[in-house]
Amino acid sequence: MASKSIIRPLENKVALVTGASRGIGRGIALQLGQAGAIVYLTGRAPSNSFSQTELPSLEQTAKEIKDNGGNSHPIYCDHSKTQEVRSLFKRIEQEQGGRLNILVNNAYSGVPSLIKNAGKKFWECEPEFWDDINEVGLRNAYFCSTFAARLMVPKGDGLIVNISSAGSLQYLFSVPYGVGKTAIDRMTADMGFELKPFGVTCVSLWPSFVRTELATLEANEVQFSKAAGMTSEAFKNSLATAETTEFVGKAVVGLASDPKKIKKTGRVHITEDLATEYGFTDKNGITPSNFRSVRSALEFLGWVTFAKIFPNFSKCQNGLYIFHPTNFEENQQQQSL
């Protein structure tokens, strides 16, 4: 009996995933590699890493991509240093003949500061807390998008994915965090507006609660739950039903493979909505709870008891989020008039 051929919808597409040593970036890089993309992935050198040594490394992620038949290029890059970022894009341009089809802005170095300042008001933190959260995050995403657009626009095609979160919709963690995520989503809207005439798509992607390596380490449970303003029990319950990092990766593959992706430009997209649209599930065959479900939205806002009266399948329509500055089709339609 002949074996099934592997479907690789992104065969020979060139992708860059920033911050791919572990967590969401790792899951995205693995799925892009499995889909056939040539994956450039970045991370800090081990000597500069903020994370525990027992967690996956950039080399391990690259090796796993290759072991699964993919093509990976791991590059050490400190995304707080502009010259290293410039050199990264110059290398891709030279090695791939000016091609870059997919950029995923995922690099983020703010977790240690979020944990350190958990529970504090903004005036109780040193003002440099802002830089810890938004330098490798908002600022770097702008720089990377600029360099990527210079490669994509002449080709008339490309996809920029900015990893964001519902922290732009409701208070989460801290003032710098929420402002940074809101700014990323606004940046997505305005970049999408400018890039659309040139055939380049720019979107924000909101994962829900994600089961990352850091979050699942028992030693981090108290710190993470405190940073999120949750009890340890609530944190454990959320973690038990959380999406995996590769579920986020499948969402990126779905977007990158969509021939009509330009219609999605300038907007926020939720991983579970994309799972429904593109027909994928998580690694365990289950689709995680949708953030847009009425129950999940109310729980996120802190109305846990009230949320229980709503079934999981009951969803908020996008129009109910109209107060958000970038999410929603109505705003984008007005801009295009």
List active site positions: 177
199 dihedral zone (left: phi>0; alpha: psi -120 to 50; beta)? left
Find, among 117, 160, 138, the residue nearest to 252 by Cα: 160
* CA 135 to chain CA mean position, Å: 16
CA distance 51 to 47: 10
Are 44 and 28 a contacting pair, CB within 8 Å? no
Angle CA(144)–CA(150)–CA(152) in degrees, nearest 5? 95
Distances (CA, A) of 183 to 17, 102, 110, 166, 190: 20, 21, 16, 12, 10
Tell me the pairing of strands 158-163 and 102-105.
parallel
CA distance 72 to 57: 14
At what angle are helices 271-278 and 245-257 packed, to 10 degrees? 60
3-class secondary-structure state, position 43: strand
CA distance 317 to 294: 9
For residue 281, what is the DSSP state?
-
